[in-house]
Amino acid sequence: MCGLVGMVLCETERRANSSVLERMTARLRHRGPDDAGLYIDGEFGVGVRRLSVLDPGGGHQPMTNEDRTVVAALNGEIYNFRALKAELSGKGYRFRTDCDTEVLLRSYEAYGFKCFETFEGMFAVALWDASRRELILGRDRLGIKPLFYARIKHGLVFASELKALLEHEGVERTVNMESLSHFLTLGYTPGPQSILEGIRQVPPAHYLRIGREGVESVEWWSLPHKRVHPGTVAEAEHDLADLLEQSVGSHLVSDVPVGLLLSGGMDSAVLLALMRDKTREPVKTFTVTFDEPSFDEGQAAREAAAWYRSEHHEILCRPSYVAEQLSSIVQSTDNLMANPAAIPLHLVCKLAGTHVKVLLSGNGGDEVFAGYPTYAADKLAPFYRMVPAVLHDHLLNPLVHALPASFDKLTWEYKLKQFVEGARLSPEQAHYWWRTIFTEKEKRLLFQSDVDRRDTFGVFRAHFERTQGNPDFLNRAIYCDIKTWLADMGLPLFDNIGMAHSVEIRVPFLDHRLIEYSMRLASSLKMPGLRLKHLLKRIMAHRLPPSTLRRPKAGFHVPLASWLCGDLKPLMCDVLTPEAVKRVGLFRVEVIERLKLEHLTRRHDHSWRLWNVLCFFVWQEAFLAKR
């Protein structure tokens, strides 16, 4: 696990600026406190900060081959590196280390661009082919590891985080207004754009070739979206269980201790069960608790920890932590994400960082095994569409919206309001609706002037159109969630916040073989009726505590609504003052004031909307207000 930065200039007579590269590299010290390296070859330069997880003594980066015709830098892990090393050794390639960076280097020498297809893992890489004077930037299949780039006057710069790119004076600090509009709706910026104008992401499962001819983007893997599995439920259970076992085993490859983020939910309990069978020492588990009963999963986590005899650690999350650490939390998200789950994640990673360098997470389990309640809503919506429009418009919808707002965790009142509002839309629009924070109408009222407000549904529409030929809507919805929510919020949130505390977070549910197999299964196998995570429950029926199997999905939520009315009210009011809103100059003061008033008087739960705006104000102060 590392942080990468670099540049390549258009004109070969120019030389990469070492002082700029050193400054960019230093900005990523949190991603790699153990080691640092810099390499310059004329117009090309690359810097690395290293968190030593494999071969701590021998994996210094950047790494070169013997004649310095290939330079490699790797952020992440190639889990099958030892198998690839044996294969390459059989072909005559010699190795000086026992780390995956050298396997990356030798694989490129042996297979060229085809090397990406041989890798199992999470990675963002920079390869410099000196003989061609060409830079290759590549990302793993699902975009677990981040990689950004920006064109500058005489070339291109790249980095693992925006904050490192901003150390280069040629990178503009201007908000991308289209991205900001999408952010207000979703709480994140859909790729390949970023929140900043001129900075883009290398898309997942792509590599860029950057040379004298310009920039070429190549997709080297695609997520399956057509049902082709003709087998039985028993066969699917057997195959998925085997793939999951293999994935957890490969994700435990490390020369340093590996722990687990343990919630009260099923996904992390599954990982704990499988880890216990593969490790000699008790698994170190880490949990966040809350004082608010409807949000606290501490007891459920303690039950799982006791069942598997883990070395359990927990920490209480209070609103005072947000008040003290808000700027740090928001800056950790980097590409501006406003998921309140960042709060407990930041806290628990800070705790875990004092014990381990690597954590496993259940991230991705809901996509692979169909666990989101929105998938049940997708199935129920066609029945609601049979309700006459006049009955919906004049009775049901007004009645549901007359229900008093509750600030408890995902109450039936909240779910019912969301469902009724979206259920009469098309299946694709309804699935998108259940993910929205600010609607297009609400954004028109919020923005002070006409900005680039392209309908955010267009982002989702593009992914649904790619799966148009698939009659299985559940798989189409999962495909869209993997390409949007998971790629641009779920994965970068965990990676960035983990690395803010020098902790590598791994995601065994997102092994590409497991996800490829799952995407080829019919929804009747994955989710018969409204039974979420049906196959995972069957696979683990005899290995999990009965209480875990029975517990409904809770999600990683915080009592933000009540906190904003209580302990965090001064913070919110101090940041979102009318003067500050006028100074930023993007939003209407009266709209922000109305949202605050309606929330503070508990007429409406605007916590997610207010959190979005609050995070943007804190983020722009940190990223845009200083050079």
Residue 50 belongs to domain with CATH number: 3.60.20.10
CATH number at residue 294: 3.40.50.620
Question: Is 249 labelled as part of a ligand binding site?
Answer: no
Q: Is residue 575 part of a domain?
A: no
Tokens coding 579: 């003067």
Closest by Cα among 424, 446, 422, 441 to 432: 422
Q: Is residue 475 part of a domain?
A: no
CA distance 165 to 371: 37
Same domain, yes or no: 62 and 128 = yes
Same domain, yes or no: 103 and 204 = yes
Asked if 200 and 190 touch (Cβ cutoff 8 Å), the reply is: no
Strand locations in 184-232, DSSP E?
A: 199-201, 206-211, 214-219
Tokens coding 310: 């883990």
Same domain, yes or no: 81 and 145 = yes
Does residue 192 have a cis bond before it (omega within 30 degrees)?
A: yes
CA distance 383 to 378: 10
Q: Is residue 597 part of a domain?
A: no
pTM of the model: 0.95
Can you give the residue range of the structural domain that contains 91? 2-219
In degrees and rounded to multiples of 5, residue 613 shows phi and psi of -65, -40
The pLDDT of residue 626:
58
Same domain, yes or no: 289 and 327 = yes
Describe the strand order of the beta sheet including 504-506 as a list of residue ranges: 311-316, 284-289, 258-261, 358-360, 504-506
Same domain, yes or no: 141 and 106 = yes
Tokens coding 591: 């709209």
Q: Is residue 296 part of a domain?
A: yes
Q: Is residue 241 part of a domain?
A: yes
**Last-in-domain residue among 531, 550, 569:** 550
Same domain, yes or no: 63 and 195 = yes
CB atoms within 10 A of CB 104: 27
**Last-in-domain residue among 506, 535, 550:** 550
Indicate the DSSP class of residue 30: G
The pLDDT of residue 419:
82
CA distance 77 to 465: 33
**Last-in-domain residue among 219, 246, 273:** 219
Residue ranges of the chain whose pLDDT lies below 70: 1, 13, 227, 229-230, 401-403, 405-406, 408-413, 451-453, 554-555, 626-627
Q: Is residue 146 part of a domain?
A: yes
Question: Is 288 labelled as part of a ligand binding site?
Answer: yes
- β-pair partners for 612: none
The pLDDT of residue 607:
95
The pLDDT of residue 554:
66
Same domain, yes or no: 338 and 200 = no
Same domain, yes or no: 158 and 306 = no
Tokens coding 68: 């310095």
Same domain, yes or no: 250 and 283 = yes
The pLDDT of residue 420:
80
Q: How far is CA 571 from the centre of its chain?
A: 27
Question: Is 507 labelled as part of a ligand binding site?
Answer: no
Report the catalytic residues. 2
Same domain, yes or no: 137 and 208 = yes
Same domain, yes or no: 206 and 306 = no
Burial of 493 (0-12, 13-18, 19+ CB in 10 A): buried
Q: Is residue 478 part of a domain?
A: no
Q: Is residue 137 part of a domain?
A: yes
Tokens coding 164: 């490192």
Angle among Cα 433, 178, 441 to the nearest 5 degrees reads 45
Q: Considering its fold, how many domains does the chain have in total?
A: 2
Same domain, yes or no: 183 and 63 = yes
Number of helices and strands (H, E) in the chain?
A: 30, 17
CA end-to-end distance (rounded Å), the chain: 28
